[in-house]
Structure 1
């Protein structure tokens, strides 16, 4: 019960709604809750506002609306005897419990001591790009010869470029190898030995069979030395370029004009060149095999085609004669006669096509019906 004349300012701590009310004389308060209270003493202007640091309790009487004069109660008695408190002090903030970190249990490490295996070395003849010897260690490093005198050889690491200049070296005296004090500055290549062996095999096989495709030479060499579980395999395109570079010295020189001699020994197929035609200042070469001429003789129709982009001077066109070849229910058009032409005039085509027919007639002694030849 509030027994003084005061102005009370109520602010709800939940919804933040505020309300002021001036109370004169004794009054019962029947609305309860938790409030922030500020009381203006006296209820007149200019009075001081006091901040209360205490808990004030508003209680109900047994009957609501009771006055000092006697009279009948108009309001029913409250159902409960309630007590509401107003706490205008700062509530203490309790310390939150400290979080305890629990470490994950790691599995125990196995006690396994690695055996110190001595490093061994193997010399690969013609293992370098220039056909020189190369030294490969068992810990997957490669070395090339720097200097040799008598039975002493000084090897240095093969990783030497603008980005990597490895200072590691090996001294060899007789059959004894000794690593010097300076270590490698790069990662080891676990397949170093196999790469060198594949490199050497490709260079050897492409010389033994100059007409075998370079890709097939590379694939055969990798099948001989590379296992299925090996990683960091050699680059196939680099090996193909290596094979073609090695064969450059074995191939005949590229012709610069039409006055050149055909090296039939290098072709290893004397029957493949079937005609060498001179028409005025032009020269045309016809290539085919006896089996291809036989198929062309049996064909009912011939088809002709020409291309210009794949040739170099002094030739201007690759002209070809095609026919359909059947096997069972399948059939396909295939080229059977090839002609390197240095000119593209009408008399050149007549000479080439006529000579092709002559070769077919001589080969089978039978004349076939020609359809589709250009004249």
Structure 2
């Protein structure tokens, strides 16, 4: 808004292009905003926006003889004229004939509505004592795990001649909760520290389920993980607490069997441990031209394949590890009623 070659009518200094200044509509002279114009920076920026929008702004400097003659009537839009001193609206400035009293009959009463609070229960529930249960094989290393009715679990810390100390399985950085058990009894006493985490209502059920899955995996070495997990989860369907994650139970089953599996052979001259092979599943162990071939099949599969007219052979290389090279599978189909079943 300022010109680079004009002088301020107030201070006499040069008005530069980047300085805030206004030109008088009476004497056509520039004046800095801070040189007695009484215009704030907010008002100056508001004027600048109005001029860019095409609105009309009229102003005269205090030194101009036409200062008092410029008014709102000289502008196209009276609201754009500036400066025009306006006194704040007060009660004393209100005209005497102005009346704000309304008839009482026209006032509509405000109806206030509120939500009805539910009635508090009158029955007082009795404090239920905390019960404890020791789950054999409940930990990852198949050690004993103590679970209470509040959803907290404890592992065995130490044992003395008179008591057994259990420590919370979720250990904090500073302190942790403990339980003291009288040796040979089911009497438990809580320690001084409280738990630093919320309890899990299904902790006891999860620990019992994991212990059963690991025990079944060791006893039934030839049963599939799906059968063991499905059998255990079916017995817990009517439980009120959340059931364990099925993937967690699969990992527990495989981890329990991993310690009993024989070591993976380094070459083909290993001795096959038949204790880890189902009965009558190994049909032949052949060696030909330095290559070893292990043939596995059940008696039912051999019976159906002997009656089949067509066999399908598939060779897979990616499923086997060294020293084995290929898994060769033979398939046949049988017809049962209106559907055809592929045997592998």
Q: 2:331 aligns with which of 307, 314, 322?
A: 322
Distance 1:234 1:274 in 2: 40
Distance verdict in 2 for CA 1:289–1:119, change over 3 Å? closer
1:241 equivalenced with 2:254 (yes/no): no
Provide Cα deviations, 1:251-278, integer angstroms capped at 9, x if missing partner.
2221111111112232132x32222232
Q: 5+ unaligned residues in a row in structure 1: which ranges?
A: 1-86, 336-375
Question: Which residue of 2 is the match for residue 294 of structure 1?
Answer: 303
- Measured on the aligned residues, the alpha-carbon RMSD in Å equals 2.6
| 2:192 equivalent in structure 1 | 181
Number of aligned residue pairs? 245
Please name the residue that 1:279 is paired with. 288
| Larger Rg computed on CA atoms | 1
Q: Is the 8 A contact 1:166 1:186 kept in 2?
A: no
Task: Point out which structure has higher relative CO (alpha carbons under 8 A, 6+ apart).
Answer: 1
Which residue of the partner structure matches residue 157 of structure 1?
168
Q: Determine the structure 2 residue equivalent to 1:252.
A: 262
Q: What is the match of residue 129 of structure 1?
A: 140
- The answer on 1:116 being equivalent to 2:124 is no
The equivalent residue for 1:92 is: 100
Task: Give the 3-state SS of the residue equivalent to 2:287 in structure 1.
Answer: strand
Does the CA-based 8 Å contact 2:301-2:343 persist in structure 1? no
Change (3 A) 1:93 1:261: farther
Question: Do the aligned residues in 1 keep the contact of 2:172 with 2:196 (CA within 8 Å)?
Answer: no
1:276, 1:161 → 2: CA distance? 55
- Separation in 2, partners of 1:108, 1:289: 69
Separation (CA, whole Å) in 2 of partners of 1:213 and 1:161: 38
How many Å apart are 1:321 and its aligned residue? 2.1
Deviation of 1:249 after TM superposition, in Å, equals 1.8
Q: For the Cα contact (< 8 Å) 1:157–1:166, is it kept in 2?
A: no
Q: What is the distance in 1 between the residues matched to 2:298 and 2:131?
A: 54
Return the alpha-carbon distance in structure 2 between the equivalents of residues 111 and 209 of structure 1. Answer: 54
Structure 2 match to 1:370: none
User: Normalising by the residue count of structure 1, what TM-score does the alignment of the two structures yield?
Assistant: 0.59
Unaligned runs of 5+ in 2: 1-94
Deviation at 1:166, TM superposition (A): 6.5
CA contact 1:167–1:185 (8 Å) conserved in 2: yes
Q: What do the CA deviations read for 1:261-316 (whole angstroms, capped 9, x no partner)?
A: 112232132x3222223232222222223332332222222222111121111112
Give the 3 Å change call, closer, same or farther, for CA 321–131 of structure 1 in structure 2: closer
- Larger strand share, 1 or 2: 1
With over 3 angstroms needed to count, the CA separation of the structure-2 counterparts of 1:328 and 1:214, relative to structure 1, is: same
1:210 to 211, 214, 221: 221
Give matches, 1:167-178, under 5 Å.
Answer: 167-174=176-183, 175=185, 176-178=187-189
Q: Is the deviation greater in 315-324 or in 274-283?
A: 274-283
SS at 2:342's partner residue? strand
Q: Is the 8 A contact 2:154 2:169 kept in 1?
A: yes
Q: Following TM superposition, by how much is the alpha carbon of 1:184 offset from its aligned partner in structure 2, in angstroms?
A: 1.7
Secondary structure of the corresponding residue to residue 315 of structure 1: coil
Instruction: With the length of structure 2 as denominator, give the TM-score of the two structures.
Output: 0.64
Task: Compute the displacement of 1:246 (Å).
Answer: 0.7
* CA–CA separation in structure 1 for the residues paired with 2:123 and 2:292: 78
